[in-house]
Chain A
Amino acid sequence: MGAVGLLAFLLSGCSPVPSNPRAVLEAKAAAIDSATQDVLDSLRAAGLDDATAKGHVDGCQSEPTPGVSYRAGISAKAGSDLAGAFDALVEQLDASGWKPTDAYRDVKMDPAKPMGRFVRDDITLDVATGGASSGGVWYGADEMQLGVTIKDYCVRVPDGGYISKVRDLAKDILPRS
């Protein structure tokens, strides 16, 4: 009987499944989309005009307590002077309320390919430059890539493949004007 009590304790420690998980995820997606549009504005102000943004739906947490999350990715052509483009963006981000963190404090960084993490309220913005390889192929050598995530990103959903019901939230995020 001790085991039953133990399980009750364990389950009580879990985040509960909200009554409408999709609505909770949509609210987080809306916040991320709005922040992403702000970042697109900052990129344009920094001279990076051709940025594109997408919203992605991911699974998070495993069965038996699965969840879903939403994040946005932005890519922008930055040319050969990645550090210059990064500095220009940082200036614009600062003006729009983003604060740098020390997330990359311990990372040995190539000065020609700077990276940074910024926060504003409960939104986190990661900025990387120069691309990276996947499967032995290098992608985005002349690009700046940005990711937008939200605190408490994982929304608990019912057991059993719920993610297929929210994949449609993935989309292109367009600039405001």
Chain B
Amino acid sequence: MTTTINIPAVIDPVDRPEGDPAGSESLATSLLSGAVRLTEFSEEALLLAESKWYWAGKAAEAYGDHAKNFAQRHQPMGETLKRVARGVDVFADQLRTLQSDHTTISSDITSYHRERPDLITDVNLAGEVAEAEIAALQERARALTNRRAGITTDITDLQRRVTENEQFLVQLFTGADTAAEASSPTGGISALALGAIGRKPSAADGPKAMNAWWNSLTEAERDALIAAYPDQLGSADGLPASARDAANRLRLDADLAELEMKERDGTLLPEEKQRLANARATRTALEHADGYVVPGTDDRPGGQLWLYDPDAFGGDGRGAIAVGDLDTADDVSVQVPGIRTEMDDVPGGVDEATRLYESARYNGDGSSVATMFWLGYDTPAGDLLEWGEVPSEDRAADGGARLAAAVDGLRASRAHDPAHMTAIGHSYGSTTTSYAATDHGLAVDDIALIGSPGTGPADHASDFSVGADHVYDGRNSRDFVAFLGDEGWVRKDQFFDTGLGMDPSSEDFGAHRFEAESPERGWGPNFGDHSRYYDRNSESLYNLGRIVDGHGDDTNSASQSYDPWWRDPVDPEWDRDPTSGEAGRSKTGLTP
């Protein structure tokens, strides 16, 4: 009997996507440089248009009108050129991805072509063989056919994406190649982007609607949108973190290019100085996140710029950077900072995020992790002269709403693949987190409060959205700020009522208290011990890592403080010897 075994055909080689990503990026930089020159030009013209005390009359008015008109015509040209520059940047990024994908497909084809002749040889040699061997050969042929089908699909997909990327570039340039288009408010915006942005829901529709809209778009539409409207996408709750990251990096690069060029030219406006400082701090922090490798390992999680808003809150700015992939990580944490945290503090916050990441991975169960430093609210300044505003809970209340919205956005961006999420509030950030959990249904799984001056509206851990069993507290016994919270009924409103609610380490509050002492702690209450919760090889960082990894039930418990009516509050941790770097207690990384 003759048995037929169908050997799948060879696969033709695939053309490598043409182009040079680095060259395209260089073009983008040149275009941006031209855009900045146009912007400077129009700003200078506006200055010239202002009336001067030493020159009046009809000639002066005519000159002013002309200069103003000149500025108004050049300003949109600069904006158009900026959009084109951003578009070329997006094209370059996509081209790099396509070329990488081409390399992968070519490797798959090579592997396929190695296995195919082997199968042909084995079939030819088979002759009279047992049924089992025939079945095995047929199975190999089937598997090879399936692989061919998969590779063919990948090739088709690659070719479609290459075409879309090239069309995107063509549209980008043809949309701004006449004087009229360059001067138009939509110059350099592709038809794809214009069509897609028209369907974008408003923020009021909620992050789920935003996510549904994003999922309805083609890859080409998404690229076009990121290039044209990074300002709108970079902070759109509900979008995947990768999309927000791409948009925010474009904005950051554009800000740095523009403002540093203006600084060199001496045309930086006073109100732009703070923006440049914020952009530089963000760059420093992002570079650290991007290049971070967990000490002693080859684990390089990468960074994501989830929020970049350098002009927010009167120039204090908003920013959030993650270490790890927020779109795919099994465990995601959000660190909420406290008083006096502004954008120049983001590098320090990201450094804490790397230490938290290291701890969660080192003491974890092998799950993937992303830790995000989130400065998304207007923290109190905490300056001596402004101390009066620190005890106010207004900013914590506002920040709580913002934090809950941010977490809702993260949740909506991966509704079908929910992460285990933890919010960690430090200092005033713990009060902010308390507001989010009490008044806005903060949609995390676990909450950890460290160095808390009080829990705002929450009188008991059960007031939190996560339930009392998922509320954790770390308090260094010498942390003065943690003394400010209300301790029982006797010590309520102690220290001139500077506290911000209940002390979460107290037995009355009912949270799980974990060990958070430091061998470097002071002899008495002090401010330094308020800042040691993210220190490497500390008890606090060990326990925070366990909570982030989803094992809050396996932290090292500390006894809660209590308030006997006949004496001062008692903190049982006061007399315990702290540990540092001890396995299972305070060791937070592979390297000692």
A132 to chain B, nearest CB (A): 6
Q: Which of A10-18, A27-35, A40-48, A85-93 contacts B (4 or more CB under 8 A)?
A: A10-18
Whether, in the assembled complex, A111 has its beta carbon less than 8 Å from a beta carbon of chain B, the answer is no
B154 to chain A, nearest CB (A): 29
Query: C-beta contact mask, B321-354 vs A, less than 8 Å → 1, else 0?
Result: 0000000000000000111111011111101100
* Choice from B382, B528, B582 contacting A103 with Cβ under 8 Å: B582
Smallest Cβ-Cβ distance to A104: which chain B residue: B582
Q: When the two chains form their complex, are residues B295 and A6 in contact, meaning their CB atoms are under 8 A apart?
A: no
Question: Cα distance A65–B382 when bound, in Å?
Answer: 12
* Choice from A126, A133, A139, A160 contacting B345 with Cβ under 8 Å: A160
Question: Cα distance A145–B589 when bound, in Å?
Answer: 12
Which of chain A's residues have a CB closer than 8 A to the CB of B349? 63
Interface centre among A4, A63, A107, A128 (most CB of B within 10 A): A63
A15 to chain B, nearest CB (A): 6
Whether, in the assembled complex, A127 has its beta carbon less than 8 Å from a beta carbon of chain B, the answer is yes
Which of chain B's residues have a CB closer than 8 A to the CB of A69? 536
A110 to chain B, nearest CB (A): 10
B18 to chain A, nearest CB (A): 38
A174 to chain B, nearest CB (A): 18
Question: Cα distance A13–B589 when bound, in Å?
Answer: 30
Query: C-beta contact mask, A60-80 vs B, less than 8 Å → 1, else 0?
Result: 111111110100010100000
Q: When the two chains form their complex, are residues A3 and B297 in contact, meaning their CB atoms are under 8 A apart?
A: no
* Choice from A7, A66, A137, A147 contacting B348 with Cβ under 8 Å: A66
Question: Cα distance A1–B536 when bound, in Å?
Answer: 37
Q: When the two chains form their complex, are residues B364 and A14 in contact, meaning their CB atoms are under 8 A apart?
A: no
Query: C-beta contact mask, B277-297 vs A, less than 8 Å → 1, else 0?
Result: 000010011001000001111
Binding site of B, secondary structure by majority: helix, strand, loop or mixed? loop
A-B contact count (CB 8 A): 177
Whether, in the assembled complex, B530 has its beta carbon less than 8 Å from a beta carbon of chain A, the answer is yes
Interface centre among A3, A115, A146 (most CB of B within 10 A): A3
Chain B 513-557 interface residues, beta-carbon cutoff 8 Å to A: 520, 522, 524-528, 530-536
Whether, in the assembled complex, B203 has its beta carbon less than 8 Å from a beta carbon of chain A, the answer is no
Q: When the two chains form their complex, are residues B387 and A4 in contact, meaning their CB atoms are under 8 A apart?
A: yes
Query: C-beta contact mask, A135-165 vs B, less than 8 Å → 1, else 0?
Result: 1110110000111010011100001111110
Which of chain B's residues have a CB closer than 8 A to the CB of A61? 528, 531-532, 535
Whether, in the assembled complex, B74 has its beta carbon less than 8 Å from a beta carbon of chain A, the answer is no
Q: When the two chains form their complex, are residues A152 and B391 in contact, meaning their CB atoms are under 8 A apart?
A: no
Number of interface residues of A (CB under 8 A): 55
Which of chain A's residues have a CB closer than 8 A to the CB of B361? 134-135
Which of chain B's residues have a CB closer than 8 A to the CB of A154? 520, 532, 535
Which of chain A's residues have a CB closer than 8 A to the CB of B366? 133, 135-137
Whether, in the assembled complex, A56 has its beta carbon less than 8 Å from a beta carbon of chain B, the answer is yes
Question: Cα distance A107–B583 when bound, in Å?
Answer: 8
Question: Cα distance A128–B295 when bound, in Å?
Answer: 15
Which of chain B's residues have a CB closer than 8 A to the CB of A137? 297, 299, 366
Interface centre among B427, B526, B584, B592 (most CB of A within 10 A): B592
Which of chain A's residues have a CB closer than 8 A to the CB of B401? none
Known: A62-B534, A135-B368. 14 other contacts (CB 8 A): A2-B495, A2-B496, A3-B390, A3-B498, A6-B495, A60-B532, A60-B535, A63-B337, A63-B338, A63-B340, A66-B531, A134-B296, A134-B361, A140-B590
Residues of B at the A interface (CB closer than 8 Å) are 281, 284-285, 288, 294-297, 299, 337-342, 344-349, 351-352, 355, 358, 361-362, 364-369, 382, 384, 387-388, 390-391, 426-427, 480-481, 495-496, 498, 520, 522, 524-528, 530-536, 579, 581-584, 589-592
